[in-house]
Chain A
Amino acid sequence: MTLKSFLQRLWPIMPTIASLAFIAALLLAFGADPRTALEAVWQGAFGSQDRILSTVAFWVPLTFCAIGLMLTFTAGLWNIGIEGQMILGALGASWAALTFKDQPAWVLIPLEILAAMMAGALWAAISAILKTHGKVHEIFSGLALTNLAIILTNYLISGPWQPPEGGSFRGTAPFATAALLPRYAESRFSPLSLVLLTLAFIAAAILLGNTTWGLKLKALGRNPRSAFLLGVSSNRETLTAMLLCGAMAGLGGAVRVLSWFDSLRQSISGGIGFLALLVVMLAAYRILWVPFVAFFFSAVLQGSITLQLRTQLHSSLGGILTGVLVLFTLLFGDLNNLKRLRKSARNE
């Protein structure tokens, strides 16, 4: 392996270094010490068992969404609506938790998960059908449906699902203990969610790498015209990819209500759906990288929450870092693409 190809394999390292340097320069410009800030972030993410568990608990739904997005990105779909699909998943899980609240955990939890997956899939199906039958681009329908999902959440919280003591617009009353995913050591992390995530990851990796369906998605994403002429039904593959992605996002939403929180809250998603888009881009659409990139994001974002306490820096620094990172990645990615395009054009 030459140095060049080695660097190409490691190319996400380059934008990471570039964005860290950028952030460091930004901190210096404001008279802050980058090392202190970095230490504070590290402490915030991994400083104690509690912090580590928090980071992991944030990572689980993010990875669910990112895995789902791998399917739609492979098919060439810009499923921006994943945010709304995740919110719908949270609503689905909440509905099951409130409706079947007297059931034991072993009945209730599967019901909640099923409801969450179906609700997420439903929201994705609307986008998919609008695309295949109405020629509405999934970006537009996705954004609209995300807004609708937020409005729906607010309506439910302040209306039908408001706590008995009166609505505060902030959330429902906490669900019954049986409704929540069993958590580890008083933290927000549930080992069960990790088991589900592992299963979802393996299933998605196999679907993408070893099934005819996955191959069809790949063909569709790379050249819809050729894929069609090869006999790939774009409508069916679009619909199935979106349904599965919606179900994954729904699972992520369920984890948010049933393990991160204990009730349905106003901003239940925490922007994780949009964040997952960035994760997949940074992972260069390679599923094996997705969990790692998602973990990095979780650590940075969780770590910067404590930043303000320690360094007087605002906690949005984590958001800035991830944003800058993605911008640099896209920049480097496009440079790489450009080089590859030129190279392949020359090879003709």
Chain B
Amino acid sequence: MHVELQNIRKHFGSVKANDGISLTFEPGRIYGLLGENGAGKSTLMKILAGFQPADSGHILLDGQPAHFANPAAALRAGIGMVYQDPLDFPPFTVLENFLLGKDRRLALDFRAASAELKHLMGRYGFEIDPQANIQSLSLGERQQLELVRLLAGGGRLLILDEPTTGISAEQKDALFASMRHMARQEDRTLILVSHKLDEVQELCDHAYVLRAGGFAGEHPLPCDNNLLVEKMFGQVPRRSPRPALPLETNLLELQQVTVRTPRLTLQNINLTIRAGEVFGLAGLEGNGQELLMQAIAGLAPIASGRLLLAGRDITRHAYHQTLADGVAYIAAGRLEEGLVAGLSLTEHIILSAPRVKQTFFIRWEGARRVTAERIQAYEVVGTPQSNADQLSGGNQQRLLFAMLNPDLKLALLNQPTRGLDVRSADYIWETLYRRRAEGAAILFISPDLDEVIERSDRIAVFSGGQMSRIVKASQTSAEELGHLIGGRQ
């Protein structure tokens, strides 16, 4: 199927998300759609997949104009999209989810569906138990299920939005192999939406680059990364230098800390973090690094051992007490954990102020001024009156950092740059370096080993609740960390 987008425009208020974009997609090829956060990639692909209508412009399928009222209509026409967060129904089984999208009759034919599911899984090298509950699947497996569901629904052009975020290396390899199979053997069109250049280079035949809602260029792949980077950012972005700091005073001390949950136990953790230090925690999700962070924040109870912050025992402090102690915790989810949809930026800044500074009556004018200053300092695209949910993902992230109070001692950050492009991520780190120069320590989790190595002073790796030996970032490699993640010391 030959798919053409002509002059697609989409505005959200005054923001031009897509400003007249025209692209062509041929069958049998894999396309990379590149661009920094907010470049308009997701908007354009959601228009193509029938998730939202364009303000103007045309979609041509084999030369015929097409209008999609909803994603189901797009799929009937052969276009399907796998979203960053899979649109499945967690309480149900894999098979039930598979049936949901395709069988409209009253009597569901489980046996035939099961056979079809197994057949499709086998063809693409996926292995998922049809009877498993969605809850028990990893993100990568849920993506595979989505993909198979779209294929069964007759998808000729498949869009994958940031599919490699949060899945394991093996799953990524399996995913890429299946995508190649779909393009080469089955003559389907695939579009990989990503800002990870290496992946696009590895998998795709051709790259389209968007910048600030417009078309910024295209290139056959593979090619020199810098060519793509220039198109994405207009220039090659600089990496903010990491200033060297003397690390002398101990800020946070964990002495024989034990944390128990039904799923995981952290046993006798000893760790000292110094003022001004950036400490990275690596490991696959659910191996203990989040739990440790939550224990420090007072969100998970410490069963035994001691926790000292600047010499003070805060072992028994609950979360709200540790906040008052000068600890900040930023969770991985933005709108779920940290921001409140429907509340303005000013209201967020008011709520995030330390309790002693909160007054009974709100001084709106002062609060708006502070918010305007923070917005400027953190380059948030928004006004004090904007609601947090109106911001783009990257700006929501910046808002979270703008809400950190001035007298911060320790920042606990779970995936501080999740889903951000190089430039936004670099910006976040720049602001964190400033905090560090002011004497705050930073403890962060990232699934991106390169980021952990580049940004940290020291690193610890978690595997099955065990903390590895502590390695110096300057003397380690992604390979060594990979071994530690695998549980080898």
* Residues of A near any B CB (own CB < 8 A): 210-213, 215-216, 218-219, 222-223, 225-233, 344, 346-348
On whether the beta carbons of B361 and A211 are closer than 8 Å, the reply is: yes
Cβ–Cβ contact A215 & B351, under 8 A:
yes
> Which of A210, A229, A347 touches B338 (beta carbons < 8 Å)?
A229
Are B360 and A213 in contact, with the CB atoms below 8 A?
Answer: yes
Which has the most chain B C-beta neighbours within 10 Å: A210, A211, A212, A346? A212
| Given A227-B340, A230-B338: A346 in contact with B352 (beta carbons within 8 A) | no
B46 on interface, CB distance cutoff 8 Å: yes
B328 to chain A, nearest CB (A): 10
Q: Would you give the shortest CB distance from A207 to chain B, in whole angstroms?
A: 10
Asked if B109 CB lies within 8 Å of chain A CBs, one says no
Q: Measured between alpha carbons, how far is A213 from B390 in the docked complex, in Å?
A: 24
Chain A residue numbers with a CB within 8 Å of B403 are 230
Confirm or deny: B475 has a beta carbon within 8 angstroms of a beta carbon on chain A: no
A222, B361: Cβ atoms closer than 8 Å: no
Shortest CB-to-CB span from A74 to chain B, Å, is: 11
Bound-state CA distance A219–B360 (Å) is 16
Among candidates A219, A226, A347, residue contacting B390 with C-beta atoms closer than 8 Å: A347
With A211-B362, A229-B338 in contact, do A346 and B51 touch (Cβ < 8 Å)?
yes
Task: Kindly state whether residue B470 has any CB partner on chain A within 8 Å.
Answer: no
**Contact call B358/A212, Cβ cutoff below 8 A:** yes
CB distance from A224 to the nearest CB of B (A): 9
Given A225-B336, A346-B52, A215 contacting B319 (CB threshold 8 A): no
One of B46, B329, B343, B364 near A229 (C-beta < 8 A): B329
Task: Give residues in B with beta carbon < 8 Å to A.
Answer: 12, 42, 46, 51-52, 319-320, 323, 329, 331, 335-343, 347-348, 350-352, 355, 358-362, 364, 389-390, 392-393, 403
Please name the residue on chain A nearest to B70 by beta carbon: A342
When the two chains form the complex, which single residue of B46, B335, B352, B362 contacts A231, counting CB atoms closer than 8 Å? B352
**Alpha-carbon distance between A211 and B339 when the two chains are bound, in angstroms:** 19
A-B pairs with beta carbons under 8 Å apart, 10 shown: A215-B362, A218-B342, A218-B343, A219-B343, A222-B343, A226-B338, A230-B338, A230-B348, A346-B46, A346-B52
Our pick among B46, B320, B340 for the contact of A226 (Cβ within 8 Å) is B340
Query: Which A residues touch B364, using CB under 8 A?
Result: 210
Cross-chain contact A212 with B360 (CB below 8 angstroms)? yes
Contact of A222 among B341, B355, B358 (CB under 8 A): B341
Most A CB atoms within 10 A — which of B51, B340, B355? B340
- A232 with B341: CB separation less than 8 A: no
Other-chain residue from B46, B331, B347 in contact with A218 (beta carbon distance below 8 A) = B347
Cβ–Cβ < 8 Å partners of A218 in chain B: 340, 342-343, 347
Q: Is the CB of B359 within 8 A of A231?
A: no
Q: Is the CB of B350 within 8 A of A215?
A: yes
- Whether B323 contacts A231 by the Cβ 8 Å rule is yes
Known: A227-B351, A229-B338; 8 extra A-B contacts, CB below 8 A, are: A212-B358, A212-B360, A212-B361, A218-B340, A218-B347, A222-B342, A229-B329, A346-B46
Task: Say whether B361 contacts A210, CB under 8 Å.
Answer: yes
Scoring B42, B46, B351, B352 by chain A CB atoms within 10 A of each residue's CB, the highest score goes to: B351
- Contact indicator B347/A211 (Cβ below 8 Å): no
CA distance A121 to B348 in the complex (A): 30
> What separation, in Å, do the CA atoms of A325 and B335 have in the docked complex?
34
Give the complex CA separation of A210 and B350 in angstroms.
12
Interchain CA distance A178-B329 in the complex, whole Å: 59
Residues on B with beta carbons closer than 8 Å to the beta carbon of A233: 320
B-side contacts of A215, CB under 8 Å: 343, 347, 350-351, 362
**Shortest Cβ gap from A348 to chain B (Å):** 7
